[in-house]
């Protein structure tokens, strides 16, 4: 299975579900670089129903390969193959079952692409509106009571909540609240709305992580990517967002050479950290045409790991926002002499 390197951003203890033991298979995972870069621009992208013009160069995502239920032969192969590793399966899955982890990875990929498209649309000057059916609890700290994973918060002290952002706003400045929660029963049927009391922890946290339930992002960009069916995880967001911006502004972001990018992009355009950077850097190093590897600046260790692995074969560019990544690549295109002028109204002030 191909994964693009989700990083678990939850820093507080989360109670994982027990992972069932499978007879004949050790609880190990075999991982290695995925040397096939994933092109996300050119004929891999359709914007608003129209094929995009041929770009000046390739923009690619990068992943890694993980066998989560490896055979003895696969384990032995990874132990003796250079740049491959065998690790505890729970290190990859976070204690979830393989099925749950892969399903979550597929959901993350869809969610990431949706956010990245919206961030690109906003950078191109479109208004973005998030709508949803409440704030769904994605994870809960072990010391948090009153809510459970998959609960959907639809009101706080009687105030309606439609998105995760609405919930954060409703909780601001409060230490104890009354939540209206929707929960699905063991039989799969929705239960009647229930009331839950939630208190802020002494460390200031509420002890839960939430996402927008049934999220839809309304804006002026419809992007369709031709991506591998077995791709899992959220870190394709940055490459896809760059590809959308590139397609709408002349196709020159990779004019100075092939660009590989990894990282999440949220609605505000912030680039978030991902995992397996060293494996991804090894994949990048195998391609002589790659000139830039765009990575999140969030982890200085990851940035240094990428630079150590690449050893000057490609420039590692650490960014904090999508706008910063675009600005860097536009500057490189200018210096390459291949910049195609575009009208100023295609850009927001952040990119100029």
Residue 89's closest CA among 71, 72, 68? Answer: 68
Question: Residue holding tokens 């295609």?
Answer: 346
Residue positions counted in the chain: 352
| Edge-to-edge strand list for the sheet holding 38-39 | 38-39, 59-61, 258-261, 290-296, 315-319
Mean pLDDT, residues 155-176 taken together: 95
3-state secondary structure 277-311: HHHHHHHHHCCCCEEEEEEECCCHHHHHHHHHHHC
Please give the pLDDT value at position 9.
39
CATH number at residue 134: 2.30.42.10
Domain region containing 56: 31-126+221-339
Task: Tell me how far apart the terminal alpha carbons of the chain are, to the nearest angstrom.
Answer: 40
**DSSP structure string for 7-38:** -----S-B-PPPPPP-TT--SEEEEEE--S-E
Domain boundary pick from 212, 232, 251 = 212
Q: Residue 130: in which H helix or E strand, if any?
A: strand 129-131
In a domain, 189, yes or no: yes
Domain boundary pick from 163, 179, 212 = 212
CA distance 59 to 136: 34
Q: What is the band of 103 on the pLDDT scale with cuts at 50, 70, 90?
A: confident
Give the ranges where 81-97 is alpha helix by DSSP (H): 89-93
Based on the fold, state whether residues 122 and 271 are members of the same structural domain. yes
Q: In the chain, pLDDT over 70 holds for what percent of residues? A: 87
Query: Does residue 168 surpass a pLDDT of 90?
Result: yes
Please give the pLDDT value at position 104.
82
Which of 129-133, 333-337, 342-346 ranks highest by mean pLDDT? 129-133
In a domain, 6, yes or no: no
Please give the pLDDT value at position 309.
95
Q: What pLDDT digit, counting tens, does each position of 196-254 carry?
A: 999 999 999 999 999 999 989 999 899 999 988 888 788 899 999 999 999 999 999 99
Count how many domains the chain has.
Answer: 2
Query: Does residue 314 surpass a pLDDT of 70?
Result: yes
Based on the fold, state whether residues 140 and 265 are members of the same structural domain. no
- The three-state secondary structure class of 223 is strand
Backbone angles phi, psi at 313, to 5 degrees: -65, -30
Please give the pLDDT value at position 346.
27
Q: What is the band of 333 on the pLDDT scale with cuts at 50, 70, 90?
A: low
Contact (CB, 8 A) for 82 and 22: no
Question: Residue holding tokens 């299975």?
Answer: 1
């Amino acid at each position: 299975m191909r994964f693009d390197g989700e990083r678990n951003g939850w820093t507080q203890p989360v109670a994982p579900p027990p992972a069932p033991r499978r007879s004949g298979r050790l609880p190990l995972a075999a991982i290695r670089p995925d040397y096939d870069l994933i092109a996300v621009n050119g004929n891999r992208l359709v914007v608003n129903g129209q094929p995009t013009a041929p770009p000046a160069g390739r923009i690619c995502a990068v992943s890694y390969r993980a066998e989560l239920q490896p055979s003895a032969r696969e384990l032995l192969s990874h132990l003796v193959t250079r740049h491959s590793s065998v690790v505890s399966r729970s290190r990859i899955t976070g204690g979830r079952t393989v099925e749950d982890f892969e399903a979550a990875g597929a959901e993350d990929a869809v969610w990431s692409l949706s956010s990245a498209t919206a961030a690109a649309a906003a950078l191109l000057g479109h208004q973005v509106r998030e709508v949803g059916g409440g704030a769904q609890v994605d994870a809960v700290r072990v010391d948090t009571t009153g809510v459970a994973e998959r609960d959907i918060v639809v009101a706080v002290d009687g105030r309606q909540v439609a998105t995760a952002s609405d919930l954060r706003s409703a909780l601001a400045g409060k230490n104890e609240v009354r939540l209206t929660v929707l929960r699905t029963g063991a039989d799969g049927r929705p239960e009647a709305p229930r009331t839950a009391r939630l208190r802020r922890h002494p460390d200031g946290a509420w002890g839960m992580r939430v996402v927008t339930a049934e999220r839809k992002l309304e804006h002026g960009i419809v992007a369709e990517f031709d991506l591998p069916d077995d791709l899992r995880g959220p870190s394709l967001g940055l490459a896809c967002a760059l590809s959308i911006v590139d397609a709408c502004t002349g196709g020159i972001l990779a004019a100075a050479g092939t660009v590989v990018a990894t990282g999440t992009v949220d609605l505000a355009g912030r680039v978030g950290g991902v995992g397996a950077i060293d494996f991804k850097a090894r994949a990048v190093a195998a391609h002589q045409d790659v000139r830039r590897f765009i990575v999140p600046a969030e982890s200085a260790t990851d940035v240094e790991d990428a630079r150590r692995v690449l050893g000057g074969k490609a420039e590692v560019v650490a960014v904090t926002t999508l706008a910063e990544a675009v600005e860097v690549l536009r500057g490189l295109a200018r210096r390459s002499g291949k910049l195609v002028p575009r009208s100023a109204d295609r850009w927001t002030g952040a990119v100029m």
